[in-house]
């Protein structure tokens, strides 16, 4: 029993040391809570301290209880403290680049977290103390030793965290104070310029202004202004070219429509001439066609005439045979009458009547012969007349032909003149239309050439676009770096901006420009190697 | 005073023109048709060409076209009287469309000639 | 026989305008949008009397096209003109070294272009 008590006394001493340290730790926490303005924690920690003291009093009664989940809680607390510590350390090693004010925010957050953790810590400690008293009651040596081992580093961690926190806070204070002072001085110095450029800085105004970055900002803006100016100049070139091109196009179009209108008027006015010439030609041609028809008909007509005459002649010839027959008959009648008269004379008076008849028959024969001779003469005359008529008609025919031939010659000559006129006319017309076509083609060609400006302007705008995006990229990097380094820029953005400008100007100089032809000695627009 | 080449197939008019222009102080050469005219043009290198339109062998339209195509820049005055269906108006209108500096319709006065020549020479 | 000209330019407006212009003057025109397409036409049997090429083009630019075309059999003495917005001497020297026959700076008027083509294509 006595040895048991002695043991208990030994335990009590050990626990007493632990409690002493715990009391100290809680006191430190209270101070910290007080400093951070977390009065609730102060009250709570005070309350904890009171409980701890009460626990100590309980401890003296040496009531043993079992230890439950004691180690786990200590572990959690230690982890939490480590986390806070790491967070603070991490923050100073690599600040948040997105928000320039993140440091202040983070400090606030971490402070709050720290105080919460510490509060929890104190709660845990209280619990642990309770557990401790229970352990003491149960006289579990090993476990008590373990609690002691755990509590010591926990408290050490805690105090380290506190130290770091205070250091960090001081550092932040100092840095900010120095930077703000510097910035203020800088702002005072650069205020007029900054005011001047403030419009352009709208997007960057929220950044803290630091000396290095301000100087660079100044240079970057100046270069950017130059770049803007160059691009503005190019826009002027584009405007000038587009204008010029449009004027040229319109002029060409006007020339084109002018030429076309003149040509139309000319051709319209020539229609009268064409009509007149065609009428002349038509008349001559009709005349020649008529004569042609007439001449074509002449052989037929002559043939018909000859046929007719030949018919008449053959009729007359036929009548000639008839005359011969009459002559034959009259001759035979005459012989018959003579014989009859001889026979009548033989018959004497008896034949007297017969003699009279014979005389009459003879008279008839003589008359017949006479008539036949007269007919023959008539027929001969008729034949002669026909023959003479044929001769005369042929002559007349020739006369008519001669007459027509003269007309035709005139017509042919007229036609020839018509042809000549027409040739002259169409040659002239062709020359004029051809000349006009050349003018039209030239105008169309110039209009088409005007389209080339579209390509030139497109390329010029593409170069601008590329430069703009290069500049914007540079701006973005500049802003990023401003935020990340708080003005301690590692890149010389002014130089980089200058490179963008120079590249652009060089690029533009390489290409043809309608406005600076007079100012610089440009290589020729066309060159054969 | 300018060197003027006169191309006309009508001898009378040719001489008249030569007389008129010479009196105004111009140096005048004449040709009787387009072929001769073009040959003379090469030799004489005139400041102004006055050509008739309707001529044998090579007419005024051909002369004008050739001269304009040669890009010599020599101003041309066309004179014409017209023949049958081909009127003077048609010839001169055509010549104008081809690009001659001046036109003269036959018959013309001395003043008309002088005025047209001065205009064509840019005086 | 109409002379054939190969036009190489990445700008459709450029191709259209020059093509129409030269066709009006009686040339037969083939077109290609970049050096690669132009070279493909040349290697698959197209034998133009003249090549007119832009300098700045995607895939294959004018300088490279001239070099590669000059290396093809039968293209050693073919006239090749450039038609570009590049006007600086440096680029011209590059073109000359690659084997270009002449250097034209955009824009070129229709009449001027024909005059130049007549200079490098006698009898055209």
DSSP letters for A491-527: S-HHHHHHHHHHHHHHHHHHB--SSSTTTS-PPPSEE
B48-52 and B76-80 beta bridge pairing: parallel
Neighbouring C-alpha atoms within 13 Å toward the C-beta of A13: 5
What's the pLDDT score for residue C109? 81
Partner residue facing A442 (CB), from C14, C17, C110: C110
What's the pLDDT score for residue B24? 86
Q: Show which subunits contact A, needing at least 3 CB pairs below 8 angstroms.
A: B, C
How confident is the model over A129-151, as a mean pLDDT? 56
A window 409-448, beta carbon within 8 A of C? 441-442, 444-446, 448
Greatest alpha-carbon pair distance for chain C in Å reads 38
What's the pLDDT score for residue A484? 73
Top residue of B51, B54, B82, B85 to mutate, by most chain A CBs within 10 Å, is: B85
Partner residue facing A452 (CB), from C92, C107, C119: C107
How confident is the model over A42-58, as a mean pLDDT? 65
pLDDT above 90: residue A505: no
Q: Which two tokens stand for residue C67?
A: 């070099």
Q: Which two tokens stand for residue A427?
A: 């040659």
Contacts of C101 in chain A (CB under 8 A): 528-529
How confident is the model over A333-345, as a mean pLDDT? 79
pLDDT above 50: residue C39: yes
Per-residue CA distances from A129 to A17, A25, A61, A526 (Å): 13, 13, 14, 99
Distance CA A79, CA A71 (A): 12
Least confident of A29-43, A135-149, B4-18, C73-87: A135-149
Least confident of A15-19, A70-74, A305-309, B43-47: A70-74
CB pair distance less than 8 Å for C109 and A446: yes
Task: Tell me the pLDDT of chain C averaged across its residues.
Answer: 89
Give yes or no for C9 touching A (CB within 8 A). Answer: yes
pLDDT above 50: residue C45: yes
Distance CA C106, CA C82 (A): 10
Confidence class for position A402, pLDDT limits 50, 70, 90:
low
Nearest CA in chain A to C111: A442
Contacts of C88 in chain A (CB under 8 A): 509-511, 523
Nearest CA in chain A to B99: A435
CA A14 to chain CA centroid, Å, is: 91
Contacts of A451 in chain C (CB under 8 A): 13-14, 16-17
Least confident of A71-80, A244-253, A410-419: A71-80
Contacts of B85 in chain A (CB under 8 A): 273, 276-277, 280, 418, 421, 425
What's the pLDDT score for residue C48? 93
Confidence class for position A420, pLDDT limits 50, 70, 90:
confident
pLDDT above 50: residue C63: yes
Nearest-CA distance C71 → chain A (Å): 19
Choose from A120-129, A173-182, A396-405, C79-88 the range with maximum mean pLDDT.
Answer: C79-88
pLDDT above 60: residue A38: yes
- A221 or A144, which is more confident? A221
Top residue of A446, A452, A522 to mutate, by most chain C CBs within 10 Å, is: A452
CB pair distance less than 8 Å for C13 and A454: yes
CB pair distance less than 8 Å for C21 and A449: yes
Least confident of A26-35, A277-286, C14-23, C40-49: A26-35
Residue C65 lies in a domain: yes
- Residues linked to residue C8 through DSSP beta bridges, in sequence order: C32, C53
pLDDT above 90: residue A463: no
Nearest CA in chain A to B60: A428
pLDDT above 80: residue C81: yes
pLDDT above 80: residue A411: no
Contacts of A453 in chain C (CB under 8 A): 107
Asked if A touches C (at least 3 Cβ pairs < 8 angstroms), the answer reads yes
How confident is the model over C112-120, as a mean pLDDT? 89
Specify the DSSP element, H or E, that contains B67. helix B60-69
Nearest CA in chain B to A434: B98
Q: Which two tokens stand for residue C87?
A: 């006007």
Give yes or no for C104 touching A (CB within 8 A). Answer: yes
- B5 or C122, which is more confident? B5
Asked if C touches B (at least 3 Cβ pairs < 8 angstroms), the answer reads no
pLDDT above 60: residue A77: no
How confident is the model over B92-110, as a mean pLDDT? 85
CB pair distance less than 8 Å for A273 and B90: yes
The sheet that has B48-52: what strands, in order across it? B27-31, B3-7, B48-52, B76-80, B102-105
Distance CA A173, CA A95 (A): 16
Q: Which two tokens stand for residue A24?
A: 């100290």
Nearest-CA distance C82 → chain A (Å): 10
For C97-109, write each residue's pLDDT tens digit: 999 999 998 888 8
Distance CA A310, CA A312 (A): 5
Residue C34 lies in a domain: yes
Task: Tell me the pLDDT of chain A averaged across its residues.
Answer: 66
Q: How many domains does chain C have?
A: 1
- Residues linked to residue B48 through DSSP beta bridges, in sequence order: B4
What's the pLDDT score for residue A18? 62
What's the pLDDT score for residue C53? 95
Contacts of A282 in chain B (CB under 8 A): none
Partner residue facing A451 (CB), from C13, C25, C111: C13
What's the pLDDT score for residue C69? 92
pLDDT above 60: residue B39: yes
Confidence class for position A61, pLDDT limits 50, 70, 90:
very low
Residue C64 lies in a domain: yes
Tell me the residues of B at the A interface, defined by beta carbons under 8 Å apart: 53-54, 59, 61-62, 64-65, 68, 83-87, 89-91, 93-94, 97-99
How confident is the model over A91-101, as a mean pLDDT? 50
pLDDT above 50: residue A306: yes
Nearest alpha-carbon partner for A503 in A110, A253, A226: A226
Confidence class for position A202, pLDDT limits 50, 70, 90:
very low
Neighbouring C-alpha atoms within 13 Å toward the C-beta of A305: 16
Residue C8 lies in a domain: no
What's the pLDDT score for residue A71? 47
Give yes or no for C70 touching A (CB within 8 A). Answer: no
Partner residue facing C17 (CB), from A452, A509, A513: A452
Q: What share of chain A in percent tops pLDDT 70?
A: 47
Give yes or no for A512 touching C (CB within 8 A). Answer: yes
CB pair distance less than 8 Å for A428 and B54: no
Q: What share of chain B in percent tops pLDDT 70?
A: 100
Give yes or no for A510 touching C (CB within 8 A). Answer: yes
pLDDT above 50: residue A143: yes
Backbone angles phi, psi at C104, to 5 degrees: -115, 135
- B43 or A529, which is more confident? B43
Per-residue CA distances from B32 to A357, A421, A486, B39, B49 (Å): 104, 20, 97, 11, 13
Cβ–Cβ < 8 Å for B3, B27: yes
Cβ–Cβ < 8 Å for A456, A241: yes
Asked if B touches A (at least 3 Cβ pairs < 8 angstroms), the answer reads yes
Q: What share of chain B in percent tops pLDDT 90?
A: 7
Specify the DSSP element, H or E, that contains B54. none
Residue C5 lies in a domain: no
Q: Domain span at residue C89?
A: 22-104
Confidence class for position A1, pLDDT limits 50, 70, 90:
very low
What's the pLDDT score for residue A141? 57
What's the pLDDT score for residue A144? 52
Confidence class for position C62, pLDDT limits 50, 70, 90:
very high
- For A62-75, letters b (16+ CB in 10 Å) and e give beeeebeebeebbe
Say which DSSP state C59 is in: S
- A399 or A268, which is more confident? A268
For A350-391, write each residue's pLDDT tens digit: 777 777 777 777 777 777 777 777 777 877 777 777 776 666
Helix/strand/coil for A296: helix
What's the pLDDT score for residue A7? 47
pLDDT above 50: residue A394: yes
Tell me the residues of A at the B interface, defined by beta carbons under 8 Å apart: 262-263, 266, 269-270, 273, 276-277, 280, 417-418, 421, 424-425, 427-429, 431-432, 434-436
pLDDT above 80: residue A498: yes
Nearest CA in chain A to C102: A528
Confidence class for position A8, pLDDT limits 50, 70, 90:
very low
Q: In 10 A of CB B40, how many CB atoms?
A: 19
Backbone angles phi, psi at C86, to 5 degrees: -65, 125
Domains and CATH numbers, chain B: 3-121 (3.40.50.2300)
Confidence class for position A56, pLDDT limits 50, 70, 90:
low
Mind giving me the DSSP string for A82-105? HHHHHHHHHHHHS--SS-TTHHHH
The answer, yes or no, to whether ipTM is higher than 0.85 is no
Contacts of C20 in chain A (CB under 8 A): 448
CATH of the domain at C58: 3.40.50.2300
Cβ–Cβ < 8 Å for A242, A515: no
Residue C63 lies in a domain: yes
Nearest alpha-carbon partner for A114 in A70, A73, A81: A81
Confidence class for position A3, pLDDT limits 50, 70, 90:
very low
Residues 6+ apart with CB under 8 A from C69: C38, C39, C42, C51, C75, C78, C80, C99
């Amino acid at each position: 029993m006595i040895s048991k008590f002695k043991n208990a006394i030994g335990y009590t001493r050990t626990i007493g040391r632990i409690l002493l340290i715990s009391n100290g730790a809680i006191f430190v926490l209270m101070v910290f809570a007080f400093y951070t303005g977390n009065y609730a924690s102060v009250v709570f920690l005070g309350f904890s301290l009171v409980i701890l003291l009460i626990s100590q009093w309980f401890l003296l009664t040496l009531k043993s209880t079992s230890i439950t989940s004691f180690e786990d809680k200590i572990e959690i607390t230690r982890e939490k403290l480590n986390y806070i510590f790491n967070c603070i350390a991490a923050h100073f090693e690599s600040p948040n680049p997105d928000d320039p004010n993140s440091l202040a925010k983070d400090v606030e957050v971490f402070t709050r977290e720290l105080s919460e953790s510490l509060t929890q810590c104190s709660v845990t400690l209280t619990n642990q103390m309770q557990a401790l008293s229970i352990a003491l009651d149960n006289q579990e040596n090993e476990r008590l030793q373990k609690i002691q081992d755990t509590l010591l580093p926990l408290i050490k961690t805690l105090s380290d965290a506190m130290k770091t926190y205070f250091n960090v806070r001081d550092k932040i204070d100092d840095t900010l104070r120095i930077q703000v002072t510097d910035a203020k001085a800088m702002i005072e110095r650069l205020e007029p310029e900054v005011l001047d450029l403030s419009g352009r800085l709208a997007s960057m105004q929220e950044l803290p202004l630091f000396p290095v970055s301000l100087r660079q900002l100044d240079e970057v803006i100046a270069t950017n202004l130059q770049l803007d100016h160059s691009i503005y100049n190019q826009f002027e070139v584009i405007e000038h070219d587009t204008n010029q091109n449009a004027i040229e196009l319109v002029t060409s179009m006007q020339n084109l429509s002018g030429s076309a209108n003149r040509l139309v008027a000319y051709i319209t006015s020539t229609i009268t001439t064409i009509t007149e010439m065609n009428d002349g030609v038509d008349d001559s041609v009709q005349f020649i066609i008529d004569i042609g028809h007439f001449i074509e008909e002449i052989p037929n007509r002559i043939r018909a005439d000859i046929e007719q005459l030949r018919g008449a002649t053959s009729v007359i010839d036929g009548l000639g045979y008839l005359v011969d027959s009459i002559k034959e008959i009259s001759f035979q009648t005459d012989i018959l009458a003579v014989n009859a008269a001889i026979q009548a004379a033989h018959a004497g008076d008896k034949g007297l009547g017969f003699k009279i008849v014979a005389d009459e028959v003879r008279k008839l024969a003589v008359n017949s012969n006479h008539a036949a001779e007269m007919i023959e003469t008539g027929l001969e005359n008729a034949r002669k007349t026909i023959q003479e008529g044929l001769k005369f008609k042929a002559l007349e025919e020739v006369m008519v032909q001669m007459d027509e031939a003269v007309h035709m010659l005139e017509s042919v000559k007229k036609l020839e003149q018509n042809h000549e006129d027409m040739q002259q006319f169409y040659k002239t017309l062709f020359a004029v239309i051809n000349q006009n076509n050349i003018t039209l083609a030239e105008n169309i060609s110039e209009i088409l050439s005007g389209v080339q400006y579209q390509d030139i302007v497109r390329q010029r705008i593409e170069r601008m676009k590329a430069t703009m995006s290069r500049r914007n990229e540079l701006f973005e990097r500049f802003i990023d770096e401003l935020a990340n380094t708080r003005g301690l820029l590692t890149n010389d953005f002014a130089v980089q901006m200058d490179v963008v400008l120079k590249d652009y100007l060089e690029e533009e100089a390489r290409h043809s420009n309608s406005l600076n032809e007079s100012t610089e000695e440009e290589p020729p627009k066309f060159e054969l190697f | 005073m300018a060197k003027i080449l006169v191309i006309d197939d009508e001898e009378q008019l040719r001489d008249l023109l030569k007389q008129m222009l010479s009196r105004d102080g111009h140096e005048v050469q004449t040709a009787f048709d387009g072929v001769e005219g073009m040959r003379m043009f090469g030799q004489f290198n005139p400041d102004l060409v006055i050509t008739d339109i309707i001529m044998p062998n090579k007419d005024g339209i051909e002369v004008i076209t050739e001269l304009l195509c040669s890009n010599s820049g020599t101003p041309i005055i066309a004179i014409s009287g017209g023949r049958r269906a081909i009127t003077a108006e048609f010839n001169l209108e055509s010549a104008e469309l081809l690009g001659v500096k001046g036109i003269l319709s036959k018959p013309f006065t001395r003043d008309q000639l002088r005025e047209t020549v001065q205009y064509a020479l840019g005086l | 026989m109409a002379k054939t000209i190969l036009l190489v330019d990445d700008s459709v407006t450029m191709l259209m305008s020059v093509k129409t212009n030269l066709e009006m003057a009686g040339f037969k025109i083939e077109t290609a949008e970049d050096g690669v397409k132009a070279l493909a036409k040349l290697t698959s049997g197209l034998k133009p009397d003249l090549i007119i090429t832009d300098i700045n083009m995607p895939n294959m630019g004018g300088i490279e096209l001239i070099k590669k075309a000059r290396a093809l059999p039968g293209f050693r003495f073919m006239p090749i003109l450039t038609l570009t917005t590049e006007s600086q001497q440096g680029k011209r020297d590059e073109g000359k070294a690659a084997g270009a026959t002449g250097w034209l700076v955009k824009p070129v008027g229709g009449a001027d272009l024909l005059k130049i083509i007549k200079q490098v294509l006698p009898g055209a």
